[in-house]
Amino acid sequence: MVSPILELKNINKSFGHVQANKNINLKINQGTIHGIIGENGAGKSTLMSIVYGLYQADSGTISVSGKEIKLKSPRDSIESGIGMVHQHFMLVENFTVLENIVLGFEGEFVFGEKLKKAKQDLKNLCDTYKLNIDLESVISDLSVGFRQRVEILKSLYRGAEIFILDEPTGVLTPQEVDELFKILRSLKEEGKTIVLITHKLNEIMDLTSEVSVMRQGEVVGHTKTSDTNKEKLAEMMVGRSVLLRLNKEDAKLGDVVFKVENLTVKDDLDVTRVKNVSFEIRSGEILGLAGVTGNGQTELLEALSGIRKVESGNIYLNDEKVSDKENLLDPRKLKEKGLAHVPEDRQRMGLVTNFKAYENLIFGYHDQEPYSKSSILRDSDIITYSKKVMEEYDVRPRSPQLITSNFSGGNQQKIILSRELNESPKILLVGQPTRGVDIGAIEFIHQRLIDMRDKGAAILLVSVELDEVLSLSDRILVMFDGNIVGERINKDVTDRELGLLMAGVA
Amino acid sequence: MEFLLDLASLVNSTLRISTPLVFAAMAGIFAERSGVIDFSLEGKMLMAAFVAAVGSYYFGNPWIGLFMAIVMCVSLSMLHGFASVTHKGDQVVSCVAINILIIGLTTALAAAWFGQAGLTPTLTDEQRFLEITLPFADSLREVPIIGLIYSEILSGHYVFVYLGYISVPIVYWVVFKTSFGLRVRAVGENPSAVDTAGINVFAMRYKALAINGVLIAFAGAHLSTAVNANFFREMSAGRGYLALAAMIFGKWHPKTALIACLLFGFTDALQIRLQGVELPVVGEIPVQLIQAIPYVLTVVLLAGFVGKAIAPNAIGQPYIKER
């Protein structure tokens, strides 16, 4: 019987009325990679923030190597040998790697001997774990994958024995994920313990030896990874059986309805982000646009939906030129011509989060009948309509009067989708449709997009989730550094190949 | 020779006039590098001037006045911290409140204590700081170049002038060469990174604000107990804002902020020089126009010439742990 290196007993934590963690019991054995899987909002991150000392539990105990510890701040957990790699990296962007790592553990007031020693120690650690990090480089010059390594190195330097990684692969290319997994395995071989928090079933199956499932703040299951499979885990996460593969027939392609010609777009800082991009979409087709965040997809999507200026190039909608440098159609006119847009950042651009749900459900169409007459909103009609749509799209809770920010991410997304899809657009631009959305809702949203396609809509899907692009698209474009670097028919492509394109190496 | 002496005296007054700006800019660097906006430099400078003058008058010793000004300014910085760090209030609003409070308070207190609205009694030489003649300044005066620089420019300043310029390398050293400075900078860039390193974000910001209070007190005391021999209403005359502009112009960096302060000081010294002087071609320029030069320069510099000033990333944002 191995004794657990980390043991949680009866952890409870509430934020206001919401109980984020309920009676959590968890044992993590030394030298293992232990997965914690659950949907967004299942309480995984909260639990790990408690273990890392960022939040204080309302009740319960935490023991490391059999000894109970009191965690008042991250300092206490670091001293107990716990390290955490957060989802959003905890790095100061304009500091060097070295400065970021010694921060808080300088050991001297005036930099000198201790800093030299730290440098040497860090070089040795880099060699041992093949991290290949230049200590003098500034964080903002590093790729996301390297920033993550810096975080791992930081924990190593602080003497961590237990590494908690919160959704570590969300921002990585497949190649970077491979590299990360290599590092994690070598950490394990050195006897370190790793806790992997994720909502991705593949990662659990690939990497972990044990897995705990969380749902609605509770641990609902615990098993050896070898004794389970993806379907079983998904069922435990959601609480019902889930279709992991989409039912999708082959696309019935129609005419070209949307065409982009030599489009160039600059961002707010006047940097060219989209470089001479051309493509077309046929009706009845989903065109997937894959790429690592920040390679111009955002600017492209904004330009196509009429909210960002076009530097040069043309956009055609049903052979009609709708946009060039001089003549830019605004989002409203595009909408009238049958183009709908589900923005990438739903809270910033898709919704007015302080509005009530029914207001957001018709926003943008609010001046049309039956929602308004003679410029006066007809609230009762809107609410009746809203109830119907919320039913149809399974928005929970079904309260049109509720303030939108009180809905979960998945339900907010459904509100936007129902608004944009209900007008039966001919062309649909969708950005990150399932970012921060849980599995059950993802299934629903994906099915809706397929239905739209089958009804003859042309869909441009921009997503950083490669799995999503692969499972939905009929044809895939890969964007790197503002250019389209590859076009593939979905049936003939592997995720490895796309990954190489996304990294700009193929 | 006449021209060189003129030039020397212009440089001399530039150094003197820039001094309060230098202290205030250094004070601003500490607050803002830690992520706390400090528009209240103006108010704190005014308060320091008032307290230093009153303290020196009552106790007969300008050092006691200075000490009281330091205590006062640190308290005001803590008040700013209490509102905007602990209670996460809007930092600009907190500063504006402090500034307004102090303009009224100093005038009213002067009236209540000394019977004159906004004026404190004139300090005697024992009650104020006097100009310091550096050793050998008189004997070196006749040596070419060196005599000019040493005796005419460097010698004969108030103690604050020397302290002010010594403070710049010290601030630079603390901010960039010590672990304390690293933490101050980190807390202004990404407080979460500091929090997860097990350092108290709030405590760091309070410490930075305390240093800010000490530095700004020197600027005020310089005004009322050195270059002037009393306090008069609104005697800080926008220097706090000017220093803030210099700090931004200097991109929150002590060295470049110093250069900006000297530039502002120089235009001020120049405008004093130019008042009533007949210039070739343009003739005599109206005083009001000349006096506006430093402020116009501020606007012009900040509006275009500096390029994009990149502020500390987390400036103005109270630190709130998630949820």
Of A304, A311, A302, A296, the C-alpha closest to A345 is A302
CATH for A138: 3.40.50.300
Angle, CA B171 vertex, CA B170 and CA B172 arms, to 5°: 90
Cβ-nearest to B197 among A74, A76, A88: A74
Question: Considering only alpha carbons, which residue of chain A is nearest residue B184?
Answer: A103
Q: Are residues A133 and A265 in the same domain?
A: no
Q: Hey, of A17, A21, A46, A103, which one would you mutate to test binding to chain B, going by the most B CBs within 10 A of its CB?
A: A103
Query: How many domains in chain B?
Result: 1
User: How does pLDDT run across A49-94, given as a tens digit for each residue?
Assistant: 999 999 999 999 999 999 999 999 999 999 999 999 998 899 999 9
How distant is the Cα of A268 from the closest Cα of chain B, in angstroms? 13
Question: Considering only alpha carbons, which residue of chain A is nearest residue B188?
Answer: A92
The yes-or-no verdict on residue B274 having pLDDT over 90 is no
Q: Is residue A463 part of a domain?
A: yes
In this predicted structure, what is the pLDDT of residue A170? 76
Of A303, A305, A401, the C-alpha closest to A361 is A401
If you count residue pairs, one on A and one on B, with CB atoms under 8 Å apart, how many are there? Answer: 76
The yes-or-no verdict on residue A1 having pLDDT over 70 is no
What value does the mean pLDDT take over residues A135-163?
Answer: 94
In this predicted structure, what is the pLDDT of residue A234? 84
> What 3-state DSSP class applies to A296?
coil
pLDDT band at A506 (very low <50, low <70, confident <90, very high): low
Q: Are residues A195 and A295 in the same domain?
A: no
Cα-based distances in Å from A339 to A286, A330, A457, B73: 14, 11, 10, 60
Of A344, A346, A310, the C-alpha closest to A329 is A310
Q: For residue A486, what is the DSSP state?
A: E
Question: Considering only alpha carbons, which residue of chain A is nearest residue B174?
Answer: A110
Q: Is residue A408 part of a domain?
A: no
CATH for B118: 1.10.3470
In this predicted structure, what is the pLDDT of residue B277? 77
Rank A1-15, A190-204, A244-258, B29-43 by mean pLDDT and report only the highest.
Answer: B29-43
Cβ-nearest to A93 among B179, B189, B192: B189
In angstroms, the CA A46 to CA A54 distance is 9
User: How does pLDDT run across B140-190, given as a tens digit for each residue?
Assistant: 888 888 888 888 889 999 999 999 999 999 999 999 999 999 999 999 999
In angstroms, the CA B187 to CA B179 distance is 12
Contact criterion met (CB below 8 Å) for A183 and A100: no
How distant is the Cα of A422 from the closest Cα of chain B, in angstroms? 34
| Chain A neighbors of B194, CB-CB under 8 A | 103-104
Q: Are residues A276 and A219 in the same domain?
A: no
Q: Are residues A86 and A149 in the same domain?
A: yes
Of A394, A393, A339, A332, the C-alpha closest to A363 is A332
User: How does pLDDT run across A168-195, given as a tens digit for each residue?
Assistant: 987 788 888 999 999 999 999 999 999 9
Inter-chain residue contact A109 with B178, CB threshold 8 Å: yes
Of A332, A406, A397, the C-alpha closest to A366 is A332
Q: Are residues A163 and A26 in the same domain?
A: yes
What's CA A437's distance to the chain center, in Å? 9
Beta bridge partners of A110: B178
User: How does pLDDT run across A390-404, given as a tens digit for each residue?
Assistant: 998 888 888 899 899
| Chain A neighbors of B196, CB-CB under 8 A | 52, 54, 74, 84, 86, 90
In this predicted structure, what is the pLDDT of residue A244? 65
Q: Are residues A282 and A176 in the same domain?
A: no
The yes-or-no verdict on residue A412 having pLDDT over 60 is yes
Return phi, psi of residue B149, to 5°. Answer: -70, -45
| Chain B neighbors of A110, CB-CB under 8 A | 177-179
Residue whose token pair is 């410490």: B207
Q: Is residue A362 part of a domain?
A: no
| Chain A neighbors of B322, CB-CB under 8 A | 49
Q: Is residue B316 part of a domain?
A: no
Q: Is residue B314 part of a domain?
A: no
Q: Are residues A80 and A117 in the same domain?
A: yes
In this predicted structure, what is the pLDDT of residue A347? 83
Sign for the pseudo-dihedral over CA of B116, B119, B121, B122: negative
Q: Is omega for the bond preceding A343 within 30 degrees of 0, making it cis?
A: no
In angstroms, the CA B230 to CA B119 distance is 7
Q: Is residue A357 part of a domain?
A: no
User: How does pLDDT run across A330-387, given as a tens digit for each residue?
Assistant: 888 888 889 999 999 888 889 998 999 999 999 988 888 889 888 899 999 999 999 9
Cβ-nearest to B182 among A52, A86, A103: A103
Cβ-nearest to A90 among B183, B196, B323: B196
Q: Is residue B312 part of a domain?
A: no
In this predicted structure, what is the pLDDT of residue B124? 94
pLDDT band at B12 (very low <50, low <70, confident <90, very high): very high
**Residue B170 belongs to domain spanning:** 2-122+133-305
| Chain B neighbors of A107, CB-CB under 8 A | 179
Residue whose token pair is 């602080």: A158
| Chain B neighbors of A93, CB-CB under 8 A | 189-190, 313
Q: Are residues A175 and A285 in the same domain?
A: no
pLDDT band at B138 (very low <50, low <70, confident <90, very high): confident
> ipTM surpassing 0.85, yes or no?
yes
| Chain B neighbors of A100, CB-CB under 8 A | 193
What value does the mean pLDDT take over residues B208-221?
Answer: 98
Interface residue B124 vs chain A (CB under 8 A): no
pLDDT band at B66 (very low <50, low <70, confident <90, very high): very high
Residues 156-195 of B with CB under 8 A from A: 177-180, 182-183, 185-186, 189-190, 192-195
Q: Are residues A150 and A281 in the same domain?
A: no
Contact criterion met (CB below 8 Å) for A147 and A139: yes
Cβ-nearest to B190 among A74, A92, A111: A92
Provide the 10 A C-beta neighbour count for residue A316: 17
How distant is the Cα of B150 from the closest Cα of chain A, in angstroms? 33
Beta bridge partners of A282: A256
Residues 6+ away with beta carbon under 8 Å from A259 = A279, A280, A281, A315, A316, A319
pLDDT band at A477 (very low <50, low <70, confident <90, very high): very high
In angstroms, the CA B36 to CA B91 distance is 7
Q: Is residue A404 part of a domain?
A: no
Burial of B299 (0-12, 13-18, 19+ CB in 10 A): exposed
The yes-or-no verdict on residue B250 having pLDDT over 70 is yes
Q: Are residues A215 and A122 in the same domain?
A: yes
The yes-or-no verdict on residue A240 having pLDDT over 80 is no
Contact criterion met (CB below 8 Å) for A158 and A83: yes
How distant is the Cα of B1 from the closest Cα of chain A, in angstroms? 47
In angstroms, the CA B260 to CA B273 distance is 20
Q: Are residues A302 and A178 in the same domain?
A: no
Inter-chain residue contact A92 with B177, CB threshold 8 Å: no
How distant is the Cα of B316 from the closest Cα of chain A, in angstroms? 17
The token pair at A479 is 């964007």
pLDDT band at B203 (very low <50, low <70, confident <90, very high): very high
In angstroms, the CA B107 to CA A443 distance is 69
Interface residue B319 vs chain A (CB under 8 A): no
**Domain final residue pick, A186, A208, A238:** A238
How distant is the Cα of A265 from the closest Cα of chain B, in angstroms? 22
* Angle between helical axes of B159-177 and B254-274 (0-180°, round to 10): 150
What value does the mean pLDDT take over residues A115-126?
Answer: 96
What value does the mean pLDDT take over residues A193-219?
Answer: 92
pLDDT band at B242 (very low <50, low <70, confident <90, very high): very high
Q: Is residue A89 part of a domain?
A: yes
Q: Is residue B321 part of a domain?
A: no
In angstroms, the CA A398 to CA A409 distance is 15
Angle, CA A259 vertex, CA A283 and CA A482 arms, to 5°: 120
How distant is the Cα of B203 from the closest Cα of chain A, in angstroms? 13
Q: The pTM is what?
A: 0.80
Strands A376-377 and A372-373: antiparallel
Query: How many domains in chain A?
Result: 2
Sign for the pseudo-dihedral over CA of A149, A155, A160, A165: negative
**Residue A269 belongs to domain spanning:** 256-350+426-502
In angstroms, the CA A5 to CA A20 distance is 24
| Chain B neighbors of A105, CB-CB under 8 A | 197
How distant is the Cα of A16 from the closest Cα of chain B, in angstroms? 10
Q: Is residue B319 part of a domain?
A: no
Q: Are residues A316 and A443 in the same domain?
A: yes
Mean pLDDT of chain B: 92
